[in-house]
A and B are shown apart, each in its own frame.
Chain A
Amino acid sequence: MMIRVKLIANYREALPPEAKNGVVELDVPNGTTVYDAISRFDIPLDDTSVIVLNGLTVDMNTPLVEGDMVTAFSAIAGG
């Protein structure tokens, strides 16, 4: 199934060249979770990273469905 991953700001360095505006499309097997999808990228998953599914706060083990968008960014401060 096809899903999308969007990385914001400095995380964009971990994206492959075909990414556009920080978004890359991926073909992933059924059962792939939020965690699985984001682990494909070389970004630190620590207390500074925030990961959301379709803009919503979810458990990292949530299985993805076709068309989902996983977004990750690093935050050390706000606006």
Chain B
Amino acid sequence: MYGWHLKLLRVNLTTKKITTEDVDPKIARDYLGGRGWAIHYLYKEMDPMADALSPENMLIFATGPLTATPAPTGNRYMVITKSPLTGALAHSNSGGEFPTWMKRTGFDMYIFEGKSPEPVYLFVNEDQIELRPAAHLWGKDTHETTDILKGETSQEARVACIGPAGENLALMAAIMNDKHRAAARSGVGAVMGSKNLKAVVAMGNKNPALHNPEGMRNLSVSTSKEVGVDVKKGSNMRIYGTSYVPQVTNTLGILPTRNFLQGTFEHVDKIDGDALKNQYLIRHTPCYRCPLSCGRLTEVPDGPYKGKGEGPEYETISSLGTGCGVSNLAALVKANYLCNEYGMDTITTGMTIAAAMEMYEKGYISEEIIGMPLKFGDHDAMIAMIKLMAYNEGFGKELAQGSYRLAEKYGHPEIAVTTRKQEFPGYDPRGSQGMGLLYATSNKGASHMEGDVAYEEVFGVPVKENPLTTEGKPELVRHFENSFALMDSSGLCVFVAIRYAFNKDRMILPLRVTEMMNLTTGANYTPEEVMIAADRVYTLERMFLMKAGSTEDTLPHRMLHEPLPDGPAKGMVVELDKMLPEFYKLRGWDEKGVPTKEKLIELGLPV
């Protein structure tokens, strides 16, 4: 077989038994790879009602058929598990180098089961597969852990690991790879911590064989050239990464500000991409084989926030920055570094602190409980909270449970801006209606990565949609969700894939991705088949969600009942009722959002 190795590694952490298994070629084809394969195994083997932090939960690392191929941005992997934050499915995507190195070990996927009685890490160098003691790494941050592990294995190896936040089961813990890249959302790092698995170290030379190497090389070269032309025309991503976006969302009035109390931030010029570029940018840093290269190495050279690392990206600026009302750029950059070092999702971290700030200002939580004043804009208090969360100390214990549980505990659930208990990313859906439908229905709780219709509503990629209207949004959301399921299953990064994945005419078919999948795997997909497979993946994830009991598709109080007070979307709430019934119908789900028997049969899914 080509593209896929059709091999998975199964590691039982309780018994320390490690086995390798072949993957059925029909399953491989029907579920594409990466995220698709993972949900197939999760659904088949795991009780969706299992406690996410118990040994019964499965933790899956999955690469796609295009990972480690010449495909530009073919450098991704997915972490799939049941989320302790949401109780729903978690699937978090990351790039960098680790995913390519993981695939070169000769396995497409690693499945972790059970729980090790003591801290361990997994070392894989092709046929040399070992669980090794990790007591000496426990308590170390992600940067130290990475350096130590490369030192004791090989500088050629690449590392994915958790930091203190994952060890302490903070529900916003991420799995970091290559120090700065994160499979961030939904608490996947806490699942890893609950299994006493500190790190995974991968190396090897088993590049996947390609069905048509020459064709793949040619297509990759021409695609890279196209991206290069794009980069020249509008080099925002290269120079700014996503840090240019606050100006865009601020203009549209959908920049989450002070826990979504506002949609515009008066100090946006102090923390935008230009401020970052002029003050702290050193150079851009790509993921493996990426012609766009949107990562950026930055440094705060001196002062109390001195440090060096990568980012921040937009989602960090809109959570730890504007979400918390913070306008001190050096402190914001430092907060981002700390989250990477402790291994934390900046979105949930920032928006949980933002919710606590609002509750403090409204008098719902006292200074005594918090241990200090916690006003919007207090960047030093914010940094103090991040540390407490990572180490599960003091008020950090409560923050580490996320904003939903915090707000509920203090009797004000309306403060939490979450769906399925997961914090919103950086697009206020009151001024971006399609995003509202997406957050409400997303199988993993609020997430832009579930099907980012902001591409159209905000960025005009590939077509500009009016963000304030609801017409046509159900179909747009459905299409984007399936498209993201495809990209996440293939091993491509959406930043680039979105540009070459689809036709301009409303992106009906993923011609380029299909071509790449065929040249790589020889599976002879038609574009229609690829989209049906993506629908199959999305629908099976929905079934997992239904069985996990997180069945209500709704939005928090603020989005449905508190109109935006400022900006171009002033006066608006999300008109979810106008979109939801049509969305269910288009998806082939019943009026409660459950996939119908007919739909399951049509997709060849278990009924």
Q: Which residues of A contact B (CB under 8 A)?
A: 6, 8-10, 12, 21-22, 44, 46-50, 52, 54-57, 71, 73-79
Cross-chain contact of B236 among A9, A21, A22, A71 (Cβ < 8 A): A9
| B314 → A minimal CB distance (Å) | 3
Cross-chain contact of A46 among B233, B252, B464, B504 (Cβ < 8 A): B233
Chain A contacts for B590, CB-based, 8 A: none
CA distance A11 to B245 in the complex (A): 13
**18 further contact pairs, Cβ within 8 A, besides A73-B236, A74-B236, A77-B294:** A9-B239, A10-B244, A12-B274, A49-B234, A55-B568, A56-B568, A73-B244, A74-B234, A76-B236, A76-B461, A77-B242, A77-B455, A77-B459, A77-B461, A78-B448, A78-B454, A79-B313, A79-B425
Chain B contacts for A54, CB-based, 8 A: 568
| B205 → A minimal CB distance (Å) | 32
Chain A residue nearest to B452 in the complex (CB): A78
Whether the Cβ atoms of A50 and B236 lie closer than 8 Å is no
| A13 → B minimal CB distance (Å) | 10
| A41 → B minimal CB distance (Å) | 14
Stretch at the interface among B26-34, B47-55, B494-502: B494-502
**Residue from B234, B314, B452 with most neighbouring chain A CB atoms (10 Å):** B234
Chain B contacts for A79, CB-based, 8 A: 242, 245, 249, 313-315, 318, 425-427, 448, 454
Cross-chain contact of A77 among B239, B249, B495 (Cβ < 8 A): B495
Q: What count of chain B residues pass the 8 Å CB interface test?
A: 53
Chain B contacts for A8, CB-based, 8 A: 244, 247-248, 251
Q: Which residues of B contact A (CB under 8 A)?
A: 230-231, 233-237, 239-240, 242, 244-245, 247-249, 251-253, 269, 273-274, 292, 294, 313-315, 318, 425-427, 448, 452, 454-455, 458-462, 464-468, 494-496, 498-499, 504, 567-569
Chain B residue nearest to A56 in the complex (CB): B568
CA distance A52 to B569 in the complex (A): 13
CA distance A77 to B314 in the complex (A): 12
Chain A contacts for B274, CB-based, 8 A: 9, 12, 22
Chain B contacts for A52, CB-based, 8 A: 251-252
Whether the Cβ atoms of B448 and A76 lie closer than 8 Å is no
| B44 → A minimal CB distance (Å) | 34
CA distance A9 to B467 in the complex (A): 21
Whether the Cβ atoms of A9 and B273 lie closer than 8 Å is yes
